[in-house]
Amino acid sequence: MTRLESSSIQELPVVYLNGKRSDLISVYDRAFQYGDGLFETVAVVNGKPALLELHLQRLKYGLSRLAFPDFSFQPLIDDIEEKSRAFDLATLKLVVTRGESQRGYLPSSSPDINMLLVFSEKQLTESISRAASLCFCETRLGLNPLLAGIKHLNRLEQVLAKKESHDRGYDDGLVADIDGNIIEATSANLFLWKTGKLMTSDLSRCGIAGVVRQLVFEIAEKMHMPVEVVNMSKTECKNADALFLTNSLNGITPVNSLEDVSFDPGKWPKDLYSEVMKHVYT
């Protein structure tokens, strides 16, 4: 018996390993040994996993990049949808690992893939557009086009950057690559609004291509508001009319300050915000 088997389905956290209630996984799993796997963080609202199609698109792309063997996604989709119905409001972390292997970096040619569904509490404040205070982090992101965009399990750069911004008293921090281009916040993508133009960072060499970032692209296009993908500098961020962050739990979060610069909340695209949040929370 695992320590979770005695808890109610309504209690959180709740963990499923390959469809069964369990929070135990082998120390020989390659996720633990090498960070060999991917994850998605999904908002569960009214028993439904929000933006699941976009999450699965990114997951499939990441699995291909990491050369995982093909498998049918339908049982996973069915499992996520069935188990999400138990929760009015929750955070689902979906983790896919390459399973166990012998010692060494070389994976098995026919791995037993593990899938974890971890349902945990979702703060109600995450559903509210609370403005964020940001700083520029000293922590930099290394360049690796092979892993750029995907949500692999090695997030040590984000761990260091988040600790740095927290220790300095900010809600979050903006992280640059080793060339000084601003890429993203520690757990969110960044958008800049300047003279009616929307811009976001180029993620071809590092960073995570968020699902709400993709949603902003799609909705902005329908609103005839093109998004420019650029190399973003510190100066451009400070001189913006408005900044906002996007991720799958919060949707869009406006930025009220970036170190010593304050932003006017009336200058950012509220119509875009409204349309995006409809998709995230309904």
3-state secondary structure of 35: coil
Closest Cα to residue 182, out of 160, 165, 206? 206
Architecture category of domain 14-122 in CATH: 2-Layer Sandwich (3.30)
Contact 133, 144 (CB under 8 A): no
Both tokens assigned to 125: 């404040």
pLDDT of 8:
41
Q: Does the model's pTM come out above 0.85?
A: yes
- Residue extents of the structural domains in the chain: 14-122, 127-281
Which amino acid belongs to residue 12? L
Query: What's the mean pLDDT in 14-25?
Result: 94
pLDDT in tens, 143-171: 999 999 999 999 999 999 999 999 999 99
pLDDT band at 83 (very low <50, low <70, confident <90, very high): very high
Judge whether 14-122 and 127-281 match in fold: no
CATH no., domain 127-281: 3.20.10.10
